[in-house]
């Protein structure tokens, strides 16, 4: 996850005890500068890991080393916990004023920060009068306004509606580019990870299930469960690939094919027939049946299949772009 000189945290054999089982169990991990996402199911240990990174908790075994900023004028780290961590006695404006650095690189006022997150009309409001979405935006704005070298964000913007969250993520991304901020954030949102993170840590029952590049997990995940953390996929085994036109090479028992890399092509002589389909925002799930054997496949696609209906005969083509580049007609 980067050269040793870029390592911000180094965890070695870290264990954090819990009631029934360790919240973190013998975790060894290096987190580099840049943007790292932390994913996993509820209870996997995401918040526990971020609490350790923020020095809110201490490990029961092992060590956590943090490479703090060498500049005395820079705040080394700012942590936004899962419950937002807002101060109940301060207004929204005072939250920002309290963290503004004396030697700011951005020279934004508290009100300007609130305007960026559509909170300017709530500048005199106390946290207990804010909605969950407003609290999430205020916590995120406060973290950025601190101009800390490192930000640890536990499920930022989780309660914010999609359009506003999109705009807020754009502000976060611009801040990272402008200030070179290192960010570690936990989330259940694959879109945020794919758009903004370079590296990813996946936890399962307090253990590291995967640590590496986001692109590696997206295109070449080791398991189906890990693949689905980043959205729908076609997890195809050798039997599933029978009768499928594929230009994807793999040495594993299964291959992960993302919806954008798969198409169903209408063909009267094709081996499969559409039995049902269900459309979502960007992906359509088809259930197809092989006419000769009766076996069924559930296929997720995002292109070339909008005009298909029940009963249509189809071919399954994996990586149609590669097919076209080799001069093969898709019909």
| Mean pLDDT on 146-170 | 96
Domain boundary among 168, 198, 224: 224
Pairing of strands 207-213, 234-237: unpaired
Q: What is the pTM of this model?
A: 0.89
182 & 263 share domain: no
Q: Is 94 exposed, middle or buried (0-12, 13-18, 19+ CB in 10 A)?
A: middle
Question: Using CA atoms, how far apart are residues 235 and 145, in angstroms rounded to an integer?
Answer: 43
Residue 191's pLDDT band (boundaries 50, 70, 90)? very high
267 & 145 share domain: no
51 & 175 share domain: yes
183 & 133 share domain: yes
Question: Using CA atoms, how far apart are residues 214 and 195, in angstroms rounded to an integer?
Answer: 10
Residue 305's pLDDT band (boundaries 50, 70, 90)? low
Q: What is the pLDDT of residues 229-284, one digit of tens each?
A: 999 999 988 777 777 776 556 566 788 999 998 889 899 999 999 999 998 878 99
pLDDT for 326 beyond 90: no
Question: Using CA atoms, how far apart are residues 22 and 18, in angstroms rounded to an integer?
Answer: 5
Q: What is the pLDDT of residues 169-189, one digit of tens each?
A: 999 999 999 999 999 999 999
Question: Using CA atoms, how far apart are residues 258 and 225, in angstroms rounded to an integer?
Answer: 14
Domain boundary among 191, 224, 257: 224
105 & 176 share domain: yes
Percent of the chain with pLDDT over 90: 76
184 & 77 share domain: yes
pLDDT for 319 beyond 80: no
Q: What is the pLDDT of residues 91-104, one digit of tens each?
A: 999 999 999 998 89
pLDDT for 36 beyond 80: yes
296 & 148 share domain: no
Q: Does residue 202 contact residue 21 with C-beta atoms inside 8 Å? A: no
Q: Does residue 71 contact residue 150 with C-beta atoms inside 8 Å? A: no
Residue 321's pLDDT band (boundaries 50, 70, 90)? low
Helices 92-99 and 132-145: crossing angle in degrees, nearest 10, is: 20
Confidence at residue 4, expressed as pLDDT on a 0 to 100 scale: 39
210 three-state secondary structure: strand
Q: Which long-range contacts (CB under 8 A, 24 or more apart) does 96-102 make?
A: 96/141, 96/142, 96/145, 99/142, 99/145, 99/146, 100/145, 100/146, 101/73, 101/74, 101/75, 101/146, 101/147
Question: Using CA atoms, how far apart are residues 118 and 168, in angstroms rounded to an integer?
Answer: 9
65 three-state secondary structure: strand
Give the domain extent around 271: 232-325
| Mean pLDDT on 218-239 | 92
Residue 322's pLDDT band (boundaries 50, 70, 90)? very low
Higher pLDDT, 253 or 160: 160
284 & 160 share domain: no
Tokens of 129: 């009068």
The count of structural domains within the chain is 2
| Mean pLDDT on 7-22 | 94
């Amino acid at each position: 996850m980067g050269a040793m000189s870029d390592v911000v945290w180094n965890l070695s054999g870290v264990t954090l005890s819990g009631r029934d089982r360790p919240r973190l169990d013998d975790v060894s991990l290096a987190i580099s500068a840049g943007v790292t996402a932390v994913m996993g199911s509820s209870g996997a240990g995401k918040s526990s890991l971020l609490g350790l990174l923020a020095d809110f908790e201490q490990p029961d075994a092992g060590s956590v080393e943090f490479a703090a900023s060498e500049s005395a004028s820079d705040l080394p780290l700012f942590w936004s916990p899962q419950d937002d961590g807002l101060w109940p006695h301060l207004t929204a404006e005072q939250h920002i004023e309290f963290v503004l650095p004396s030697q700011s690189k951005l020279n934004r006022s508290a009100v300007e920060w609130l305007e960026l997150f559509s909170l300017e009309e709530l500048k005199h409001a106390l946290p207990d009068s804010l909605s969950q979405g407003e609290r999430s935006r205020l916590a995120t704005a406060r973290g950025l306004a601190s101009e800390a070298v490192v930000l640890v964000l536990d499920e930022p913007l989780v309660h914010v509606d999609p359009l506003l969250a999109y705009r807020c993520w754009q502000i976060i991304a611009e801040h990272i580019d402008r200030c070179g901020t290192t960010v570690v954030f936990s989330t259940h949102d694959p879109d945020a990870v794919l758009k903004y993170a370079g590296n990813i840590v996946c936890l399962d029952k307090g253990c590291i299930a995967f640590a590496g590049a986001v692109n590696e997990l997206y295109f070449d995940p080791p398991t189906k469960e890990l693949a689905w953390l980043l959205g729908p996929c076609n997890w195809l085994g050798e039997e599933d690939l029978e009768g499928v036109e594929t230009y994807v090479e793999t040495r594993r028992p299964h291959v992960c094919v993302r919806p954008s890399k798969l198409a169903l092509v209408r063909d009267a002589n094709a081996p499969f027939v559409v039995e049902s389909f269900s459309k979502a925002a960007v992906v359509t799930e088809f259930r197809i049946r092989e006419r000769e054997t009766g076996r069924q496949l559930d296929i997720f696609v995002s292109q070339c299949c909008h005009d298909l209906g029940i009963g249509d005969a189809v071919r399954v083509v994996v990586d149609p772009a590669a097919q076209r580049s080799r001069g093969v007609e898709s019909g």
